[in-house]
Amino acid sequence: MTSAMHRPQDGTLLELRDVRTHFSTARGIVRAVDGVSFTLERGKALGIVGESGSGKTILARSIMGLLPKRGTIRQGEVLYAGDDLAKLDLKGMRKFWGQEMSMIFQDPMTSLNPLMKIGNQIGEPLRVHLGMDKENARATALKLLQDVKIPEPEKRLDQYPHELSGGMRQRAMIAIALACGPTLLFADEPTTALDVTVQAQILDLIQEQRRDRNMSVILVTHDLGVVAGHTDEIAVMYAGTLAEKATTAELFANMKHPYTEALLRSIPKLDQPSHTRLMAIGGRPPDLITPPTGCRFAPRCPYATEKCRTEIPVLESISAEHSFACWNPVGSSHWQSKQDELASNAGLASAGGQA
Amino acid sequence: MTDIVLDTPSKPAKPSPLTRLIGRVPPIRKWKWGFVLSVAYLVVLTFFAVFANVLPFIRRYNELPKGAAARKLASYRGKPSGSYWFGNDKLGRDTFARSVYAAQKTLTIGLASIVAALVIGGLLGMLAGYYRGWYDRVLSVIFDVLLAFPAIVLALIVVGRFFQSGRLNLGLFQMDKRFFGVIVVLTLLSVAPLARIVRAQTLALSQREYVLAARGLGASSWRILIREILPNLLPAMFSVAFTGLAVLLVAEGGLAFLGFSVQLPFPTWGFMINEARPDIVKGGGWAVFFPCILLFLTVLAFNVIGDRVARRFDIREATL
Amino acid sequence: MAGTGKAHLHGEGQALLSVEDLLVEFPVGRTGLKVNAVTGISFDVLPGETLGLVGESGCGKSTTGKAIMQLPRPNGGSIRFEGQELTSLAGEGMRMLRTNIQMIFQDPISSLNPRRKVTNIVMEPLNIWGIGTPEERLKKVNEVLEAVGIDPDRAASSKPYQFSGGQCQRISIARALVLDPKMIICDEPVSALDVSVQAQVLNLLEDLKAKFGLTLVFIAHDLAVVKNISDRVAVMYLGKMCEVARSDDLYARPAHPYTQVLLNSIPVPDPTVKITGNQRVQGEIPSPVMPPSGCRFRTRCPIAQDRCAAEEPELQALGNDQYVACHFPLRSAN
């Protein structure tokens, strides 16, 4: 691909400006993504984190243009290297898919064609998009399988998906996604269906390929642990909006949004003693047809005040690399007093329990 | 347990029994007209068929025109008219009246066969899918043979050999042997495909964890089959039954065409079509046209309803 | 890594459940080959304890859980619950087992019949055993539903698909609780859930355990989750037992190389912690149809030697309730 030769190596690759994706359903309008803006540099990895129903998957699909045509209402701009993808139709998007951006899905079994050999599945985009002949495509497919570190790659070319293990299938998926040398790779919960040991390997592999190919990566997941070691920046989503966005180091060192804090506290950690009580977030994400007025997290937030319930907090930057949308952020005086109150309650409760 | 929040979204009002049966009736602008028309058509058809003997404006199925009417008809060639809505056949009989009586026969044959096939095929398929093993293997061979067996030969054997003619005495029921024979043939033809579908579904359902959970609770096999598996099979069975009914109506037409269906005096649509077929070239096409249209509309209606039923019962298990 | 050792078992009469030399095999189609899902593992569970079973998929941990429930009956070995042998039970004895040991499954949606009302699902065990009058049953069901945080009124009028995944898992737990079992086997109960919901369910299990005096066997592939909820953890690999230890010791002083790599695989929610690829386990679990000779982990073990291929290690005591099946443990006995 000639254009690849002239690609700039750094600078902004992707810019989202007030992206909104709503679905019109029988029950009303679902505001799945409701005003998200951010930028992504070339070669960087962005993690989009949130619970199921936070709109993280819909946001990724809005960027890729992989949304159902019927009932979808889109607003805002998706600027990809200067082109507004939101304005493109299916035909216009097709030029971007595969060559500019590609996607890895959660379940490698259902996203691979069960009746097609692995080699042909990797070779197909090469032949369609890059016009390679059969032999060339096969040789490139083999090279890709080596890149993703599948054991015995020659043998895998002529195998069918069901003959591979879950981890190998996900590696094959990655090989397919990498085939045409994309500039932006989406990974939507790429390791949820896999064992922890394989999950770690796959995440390492994605990171390694990103560095080798100077790709940007958008990693969508519900687990802050997954993004911590494998991204440069993190966007935390809640109920279709951005709660907090920061570089990974800054977010973990200085998290501001109570939702981010709650997500982190709900993860069981190895260095805590056994039977440490987890700080679960009560309830569940709101109905996106009638989202709460004010801050959308307020009904589940332990620090919420009257202001949180009535006024929508705006995304505010505290530095070039950190912004959040909250009236009573972690570390504020209200947060501190509430924290003390909760701690003393917990102390009373445990004392009562022992008595 | 401080972090447990009872979240109770709007509680739905308790639906009336009627609503639970047919679902909430949507506002008129959201009606699926294909479905509504299909139901309306079948209701009218069934009404006529059931009350054919009582309704005053329906002639007897074998009533022949007499006197002046007969003379007038001689040059008439059976076109529809104010007194003969669907026209008449070469003998001058009223095609409308005959169509209504034929509806009675055709629908009875179709319904009886599909119900019998559902019960037999459903039971066999469920047992095969649940118990598997040698039982499954034996049944599978039988189904394969039934599917591969030429339908016409089957009809020839059953109707030609066992139910050629005469009356059948089944205690409470008395019926024409030929009529019973047709039902037997159609049932045999539809048992195998139905049983196969049910078997495949049962096989998948038995792997579900709620079946394992029930077994872990000590539920007996019958309890599991009736309580856990059957309710999940029913939607698929009903939807297949409606489509299958449509196929059987056409199949009956095929049997009639070959002369293996019921005998006079009661016709079926297939029989009427076959009977009037030679007259098409002589200008008697109307007697073929109307039974054809009725058969077509009925098959279409059952298909549309079957489709709708399948969707109505589709629980979106995967969306959560 | 052999499960043949029994050094780690407690004395007769102490354990609520004791499993010895458990053997479970599945035929592979009609090839005559068999999957050696579980090959001779032994472990026991003390009353009131939570034992974690951890390992990658294919290590036999779920099979072990189901074998305890006799679903299906294991091919060999002994399983004793309160001193009574379960593998030879039938009739009335099986009935005792079904009410005393319950199981909850990984997929919260699939483990509930989609066409039944939630109240009926939870009441089913009482109906099966004909316990109490209909009014008493309903009262019991509503009590249990409240204990797991599900609104009984909503349960009476709703089917499982109207609840979220986390709520469905609560309903599964309610169904397991309704017969007042002594032991619950939790087969990957939180693997399909979001981290936030996972925390809710883990907390709920801890609460219910205290409230109803339950003994838990907790099966999962995520060592962080297992460590949080368990008193003791047994690490399994390819149908064999690797290491058994108290959960805090297992994390602080892992003795088996496999435990070490499992620990290194867990994503740490802290970007300052860097674990490089070579500290993680490489490759994937071999096929259980033809497992490696000797120690089964040797093909992926960073410190494997010739002896590991020839000789199967037995579980040996390291003191302080820690046992390891390895020729070259990462730490020696106290």
Instruction: Give the pair of three-digit tokens for residue C162.
Output: 């109207």
- Determine the pLDDT at residue C246: 94
- Judge whether residue C331 has pLDDT over 50: yes
Q: What is the pLDDT of residues A309-351, one digit of tens each?
A: 999 998 989 998 999 999 999 888 888 888 888 777 766 555 4
Cβ of B3 within 8 Å of Cβ of A282? The answer is yes
The two counts, helices (H) then strands (E), for chain A are 14, 12
Whether the link from the prior residue into C152 is cis, omega within 30° of 0, is no
Nearest of A289, A294, A279 to residue A346 by alpha carbon: A279
Give the gap in angstroms from C-alpha A55 to the nearest C-alpha of chain C: 14
The two counts, helices (H) then strands (E), for chain C are 11, 12
Q: Does the CB of B227 have a partner CB in chain C at under 8 Å? A: yes
- Determine the pLDDT at residue B17: 59
Instruction: Give the pair of three-digit tokens for residue A310.
Output: 């009535």
Lowest mean pLDDT of B10-19, B36-45, C132-141, name the range. B10-19
Whether the link from the prior residue into C72 is cis, omega within 30° of 0, is yes
Pick from B58-72, B169-183, B304-318, C295-309 the range whose average pLDDT is largest.
C295-309
CB atoms within 10 A of CB B64: 14
- Judge whether residue B241 has pLDDT over 80: yes
Spell out the domain ranges in chain C: 1-100+187-195+211-267+276-334, 110-180
Nearest of A294, A314, A316 to residue A305 by alpha carbon: A294
- Judge whether residue B86 has pLDDT over 80: no
Instruction: Give the pair of three-digit tokens for residue C164.
Output: 């979220």
The answer to whether B317 touches C109, Cβ cutoff 8 Å, is: yes
Q: Which residue has the higher pLDDT, A26 or A80?
A: A80
In this prediction, residues C279-284 reach a mean pLDDT of 72
Cβ of A280 within 8 Å of Cβ of C196? The answer is yes
Mean pLDDT computed over every residue of chain B: 77
- Determine the pLDDT at residue B19: 59
- H helix or E strand, kind and range, residue B46: helix B33-50
Q: Which residue has the higher pLDDT, B95 or C180?
A: C180
Mutate to test the interface with A, among C163, C168, C191, C196 (most CBs of A within 10 A): C196
Q: Does the CB of A167 have a partner CB in chain C at under 8 Å? A: yes
Q: Any idea what the CATH number is for the domain that residue B199 is in?
A: 1.10.3720.10
Determine the Cα–Cα distance for residues A93 and A100; give it in Å rounded to an integer.
10
CB atoms within 10 A of CB C218: 26
Q: What is the pLDDT of residues C1-38, one digit of tens each?
A: 444 567 777 776 788 999 999 999 988 777 778 888 89
Q: Does the CB of A25 have a partner CB in chain C at under 8 Å? A: no
Domain assignment present for residue B216? The answer is: yes
The answer to whether C202 touches C217, Cβ cutoff 8 Å, is: no
Pick from A121-135, C171-185, C284-298 the range whose average pLDDT is largest.
C171-185
B255 pLDDT band, cuts 50/70/90, is confident
Mutate to test the interface with C, among B10, B206, B209, B234 (most CBs of C within 10 A): B209
> By three-state DSSP, how is residue B285 classified?
coil
Mean pLDDT computed over every residue of chain C: 88
- Determine the pLDDT at residue B283: 65
Closest Cα in chain A to B10: A287
Give the gap in angstroms from C-alpha C203 to the nearest C-alpha of chain A: 7
Q: What is the pLDDT of residues B169-214, one digit of tens each?
A: 666 666 777 788 888 888 988 898 899 999 999 998 888 888 888 8
Cβ of C269 within 8 Å of Cβ of A264? The answer is yes
Give the gap in angstroms from C-alpha A99 to the nearest C-alpha of chain C: 29
Lowest mean pLDDT of A280-289, A332-341, C279-288, name the range. C279-288
Cβ of A283 within 8 Å of Cβ of B7? The answer is yes
- Determine the pLDDT at residue A234: 95
- Determine the pLDDT at residue B59: 65
Q: Does the CB of B210 have a partner CB in chain C at under 8 Å? A: yes
- Determine the pLDDT at residue B284: 66
Q: Which chains touch A (3 or more CB pairs under 8 A)?
A: B, C
Domain assignment present for residue B4? The answer is: no
Residues 6+ apart with CB under 8 A from B250: B295, B299
Q: Which residue has the higher pLDDT, C223 or B277?
A: C223
Cβ of A282 within 8 Å of Cβ of B9? The answer is no
Sign of CA dihedral C103, C105, C109, C114: negative
CATH architecture of the domain with residue range C1-100+187-195+211-267+276-334: 3-Layer(aba) Sandwich (3.40)
Name chain A contacts of B9, Cβ cutoff 8 Å.
287
- Determine the pLDDT at residue C334: 58
- Judge whether residue C111 has pLDDT over 80: yes
Closest Cα in chain C to A228: C271
Give the gap in angstroms from C-alpha A266 to the nearest C-alpha of chain C: 5
Name chain B contacts of C153, Cβ cutoff 8 Å.
8, 11
In this prediction, residues B250-275 reach a mean pLDDT of 77
**Residues belonging to chain C with any Cβ–Cβ distance to chain B shorter than 8 Å:** 66, 69, 71, 94-95, 98-99, 102-103, 105-107, 109-116, 121, 124-125, 128-129, 149-151, 153-154, 157, 159, 161, 163-165, 168, 172, 175, 179, 199-200, 203-204, 207
> By three-state DSSP, how is residue A119 classified?
helix
Q: Which residue has the higher pLDDT, C72 or B37?
A: B37
Cβ of C224 within 8 Å of Cβ of A267? The answer is yes
Sign of CA dihedral B207, B208, B209, B211: negative
Query: Which residue segment(s) compose the domain that B233 sits in?
Result: 41-51+81-312
Determine the Cα–Cα distance for residues A52 and A188; give it in Å rounded to an integer.
12
- Determine the pLDDT at residue B14: 54
Cβ of B4 within 8 Å of Cβ of A282? The answer is yes
The answer to whether B272 touches B94, Cβ cutoff 8 Å, is: no
Q: Could you give the percent of chain B with pLDDT greater than 70?
A: 72
Give the gap in angstroms from C-alpha B206 to the nearest C-alpha of chain C: 11
In this prediction, residues B146-162 reach a mean pLDDT of 80
Mutate to test the interface with A, among C195, C226, C232 (most CBs of A within 10 A): C195
Strands C34-45 and C215-220: unpaired
E strands present in C68-155: 76-81, 84-85, 101-104
Cβ of C153 within 8 Å of Cβ of B209? The answer is no
- Determine the pLDDT at residue C26: 87
- Judge whether residue A167 has pLDDT over 90: no
Q: What is the pLDDT of residues C41-60, one digit of tens each?
A: 999 999 999 999 999 888 89
In this prediction, residues C63-78 reach a mean pLDDT of 89
Q: Which chains touch B (3 or more CB pairs under 8 A)?
A: A, C
In this prediction, residues C230-255 reach a mean pLDDT of 93
Sign of CA dihedral A306, A309, A314, A315: positive
Q: What does the DSSP assignment read for B164-232?
A: SSSEEEETTEEEEHHHHHHHHHHHHHHHHHHHHHHHHHHHHHHTSHHHHHHHHTT--HHHIIIIIIHHH
Give the gap in angstroms from C-alpha A51 to the nearest C-alpha of chain B: 13
Burial of C299 (0-12, 13-18, 19+ CB in 10 A): middle
- Interface A-B: count of C-beta contacts within 8 A: 12
- Determine the pLDDT at residue A129: 83
Give the gap in angstroms from C-alpha B288 to the nearest C-alpha of chain C: 46
In this prediction, residues A85-102 reach a mean pLDDT of 86
- Determine the pLDDT at residue A352: 42
Domain assignment present for residue B207? The answer is: yes
Model confidence, pTM = 0.82
Residues 6+ apart with CB under 8 A from C38: C22, C23, C24, C60, C63, C64, C67, C74, C239
Name chain C contacts of A167, Cβ cutoff 8 Å.
284
The answer to whether C305 touches C328, Cβ cutoff 8 Å, is: yes
Q: Could you give the percent of chain A with pLDDT greater than 70?
A: 95
Lowest mean pLDDT of A109-113, A253-257, C147-151, name the range. A109-113
- Judge whether residue B120 has pLDDT over 50: yes
The tally of domains found in chain B comes to: 1
- Determine the pLDDT at residue A238: 94
Cβ of C203 within 8 Å of Cβ of B3? The answer is yes
B6 pLDDT band, cuts 50/70/90, is very low
Lowest mean pLDDT of B279-288, C256-265, C315-324, name the range. B279-288
Give the gap in angstroms from C-alpha A282 to the nearest C-alpha of chain B: 5
Residues 6+ apart with CB under 8 A from A63: A14, A16, A19, A78, A80, A85, A101, A186, A218
Residue A239 falls in which region: left (phi positive, over 0), alpha (psi -120 to 50) or beta? left
- Judge whether residue B167 has pLDDT over 90: no
Q: What is the pLDDT of residues A234-276, one digit of tens each?
A: 999 999 999 999 999 999 999 999 999 999 989 998 888 989 8
Q: Which chains touch C (3 or more CB pairs under 8 A)?
A: A, B
**Residues belonging to chain B with any Cβ–Cβ distance to chain A shorter than 8 Å:** 2-5, 7, 9
C275 pLDDT band, cuts 50/70/90, is low
